[in-house]
Structure 1
Amino acid sequence: MSETAADETSVVADENSEMEEKEGLPSGLPDEALAGSGALAKEGPMAELIGTAPKRPMLDDVVEGPVVAVGRARVFVDLHPFGTGIIYGREYLSARETLKNVNIGDTIAAKVVGEDNEEGYIELSLREARQALIWNEAEVAAQKKTAFELPVAEANKGGLIIEWNGLPGFLPASQLAPAHYPRVPDGDKDKIFAELKKLVGTRLEVVIITANPKEQKLIFSEKGTGSPERASLVEKYHVGDTVEGIVTGATEFGVFVKLEEGLEGLVHISEMDWALVENPKTRYKPGETVKVKVIEIKDDKVSLSIKTLVDDPWKASCTSPNSGTSRNSALVSNSAKCTPSPSPSSSRKTEG
C-alpha cells in the first residue's frame, strides 16, 4: 500500500473515531454493535421524552384549557404549548347561554373542529364537545352493561324511541323483555304498533348495546338488564319494610319512587289508595317525598304500596260491632254502611 493510501485510511479512521466519541460510543466497536446503537437510541431517554411529549390536537379531539380572553361573541382558550383555541361564530351562538357565564381563568373542555385558521387559532366547539363526552359515556355504559330506567318517548312499527342524556335512542321490538313483547298472532304490523304505543310514557329498565357516535346510532335492549350492582341494592330491602322515597315520575298506571341512587320501585295505581284513583298524575308530582311500603321483590324489581300504610277502611266499616259480621255479608245486608272513609292520600285533588 502506498504512503498516500495509508495516510487517507488513517485520516478516515481518525474521523470515525472522533464521530463515535462525540456520539458517546467507544471507538473500535464492531459494525454489528454500531448497527445496534440505533435501537438503543430509540429506547433511551430521548425516546422516553418523545413518547411523553404532548401530541398536537387533531380534528375531533376533545381538549381542555383555561379561558384567557373573552371578546365580542368569541372566547379564547389557552392550549399550551400548541397555541390558542377560539370559540366563535356559529359555535359561539350555539353555546352562548353557557359561554355568557364564563370568566377568564375558567377551565373548559371543547372539541377541535378546525385546525389553524387564517388568524392562526385552533377552532373549537363547546356544543360538539358536550356531545362527544356524552357519546363517550354511552360507549363506557355499553361496555359495562350499565342498566338505566328510562321513559319511552315514542313508538313506531319497529320499536320504541328512548332518550338518554339528550340523545335519542332506539329500542327494537326484538329487544323487548318477554313481558313487553307485542304478541300478535297474525303478525299484523298495525296491531304490533298499537301494542307498542301502550308502552309510551312507561319506564323500562334497559342497557345500551350499541353506541356509535359517527353514525349517531344509540341502540337499547331490555333483555338481560339485571346487574350485580342493582341486585346488591335490592338485597337491602325486604317485604314489609317502610321507607321514604322521591317520586320520579307518574303514569296512567302508577308512580315511580326512587328509594336510593340507582334503584326505583313502582307504586301501582291499585296500591295508591283504598279508594278509586282515576289519574295518578294528579296525585303526585316528581320531586315529592312519599312514604311507601315494600310489598313484593321479584326479579330485582321492587313493588311498593302507599295504601297499606293505613288500615283498610272497608274492614272497619263492614264489620258489625255486635256479631262480628264479615265484610262480604255486611256488603250484602247493608251496603250503605260499607262505604270506606277516605285515606289521607285520597284527600288530594283528583281529575274532574
Structure 2
Amino acid sequence: METGMETRKEFFQDVWPDVFASRQKRKILRWPVVGVKDYTIRSGEEKKKVQCLVVGKEQVLGIIPFEESGIKPGESAAVNRARMMKYLGQEVAFIVIGLDTENDRFIASRKAALEVLSAQAWPNLKEGMVVTVTARKVYENAVVVEFDGIEAHLPVYEISHGWVDEIYEIIQPGDVFDVKIIELDSENKKVTVSLKALIPNPWPGAAKRYEKNGVYRGTVTGVTRYGVFVALEPGVNALCSHLKSNFRVDKGDVVAIAVRRVELKEDGGRVSGSLVRVLRKNRAAS
C-alpha cells in the first residue's frame, strides 16, 4: 500500500522530467523566482559562494547564478543583489545547465534562454506588431519590459493618453500586458513600445464634450508645483491652477473645474482650467 509520504514525493517529482528534458535538449522552462540567496557552487576543482536567483515549482528548486541571470552587473555585490531582488515573484525563462543531485536541486541559465529566444524573435520583428510583454523594471519615466528574450523601452508618455503621475499606480514589475512596437532598431538591438497605441484615443471628441466656460466634475490625479491635474475621463486630463485659498487639494479628491481652453493636437490634446471647488475629499489622503 502506498503511503502518504510516497504519494507526496511522487507528486513533487512531477516537474523533474521537464528539468531533465531542459538539461538534455536545451528546452526552455518558465518558473517563478521564489528567492535570492548565496549558494556555494563548484567551479572546476574549486568551490565559491555566488549570488543566485532561486526558481521553484512544486517544491523543486533551481538556482541561477548571477553571471547566468542575464542581469546587467553593477558596481558592487550589494547593487547586484538589489537588481536580483526586483525579480522576486516574477516568472523567468531558463535552461537547465547542471544537476546538483546531492542537494536535490538544479543549476540553470536565464542568459542562455534569453539568447535562444531573442535569436528566434529578432528576424520576425516589425514596427506595428503587437506583442505580449512582462514588466521587469519600473522607473520614474519609463518601464523596461521583456518579450521573447528581448528588452524593450516603454516611455511614460506611451502608457496613457492622459497624465501619468506615478507609473507604479498603473504598472508594477511582473505585470503582463500587450503593447505595440513603434520603433525598431535591429542594428543596435533597441525596441520602443507603446501601451496607449492599443487604447482608443478619447481626444477627437473631447472638444464637444468639454466646452469653454463649462464646469465639469473630475478626479485629481496629480498635484505639482505648477498646477493640478484632473482626470475628466480616462485619458483626458485638465491642467488647472491651484485654488486661491489655502485649502489643500490631494490626489483622489473629486473636484469641480471650469474649462478655460480645449486644444486638440496630432498626438492628443490639452485642457486648461481652474479649480472651482472640492466636491469630495479623498479620505485615504487625509
More strand by share: 2
Q: Give the TM-score, by structure 1 length.
A: 0.41
Larger RCO (CA within 8 A; separation ≥ 6): 2
More helix by share: 1
Q: Give the TM-score, by structure 2 length.
A: 0.49
